[in-house]
Amino acid sequence: MQCLMDHIVLNVEDDEKMIDFYLKVLTLVPERLEEYRAGKVPFPSVRLNSDTIIDLFPKKLWQRSARSAKGRANLNHFCITLSKETWENLIGRLEANHVDVEEGPIPRWGANGTGTSIYFRDPEGNLIEARYYEGHDRL
């Protein structure tokens, strides 16, 4: 089976801080942000590409279903693929915004073979991998 990822959902504590990070640092395009701020929709999203979004669920949507006991988080990390130039620009924005690169640049295997990756966290600790594939700049 082959498929496309439609979306992932991140449970967020501070929605405005997370929105700011995904818009300003990752420079993703907002979806339904004004409607969310006006109270017309329950959550905003940010667009990765024409097929995939990240939904940012505010605490009121997940706090009742959150685990009360110890346990592992469901999400280890997620990975975004960029052109080499966009990846290099992202590193500059991470530095400018005092976001630490925890690992990398390092070669990692993914959906299109081996690429070069860095790992960093958003304001609420979600681990993000950003990579490019040499000679594969189709983005």
What are the boundaries of each domain within the chain?
A: 1-65, 75-139
| Topology alike, domains 1-65 and 75-139 | yes
Q: CA-CA distance, 84 to 39, in Å (whole number)?
A: 38
CA angle 104-82-22, nearest 5°?
85
Best CATH choice for the domain 75-139 from the list 3.10.180.10, 3.40.50.11540, 3.40.50.20, 3.20.20.70: 3.10.180.10
Q: Give the tokens for residue 9.
A: 């959902």
DSSP 8-state code for residue 50: S
Q: CA-CA distance, 99 to 93, in Å (whole number)?
A: 8
Q: CA-CA distance, 13 to 124, in Å (whole number)?
A: 7
Q: What are the pLDDT tens digits along the chain (139 aa)?
A: 677 788 999 999 999 999 999 999 999 999 999 999 999 999 999 999 998 999 999 999 888 766 655 555 668 799 999 999 999 999 999 999 999 999 999 999 888 889 999 999 999 999 999 999 998 766 5
Host H or E run for residue 23: none
CA angle 9-14-120, nearest 5°?
65
CATH fold for domain 1-65: 2,3-Dihydroxybiphenyl 1,2-Dioxygenase; domain 1 (3.10.180)
Tokens 């959550």 correspond to what residue? 43
Q: Give the tokens for residue 83.
A: 């052109």
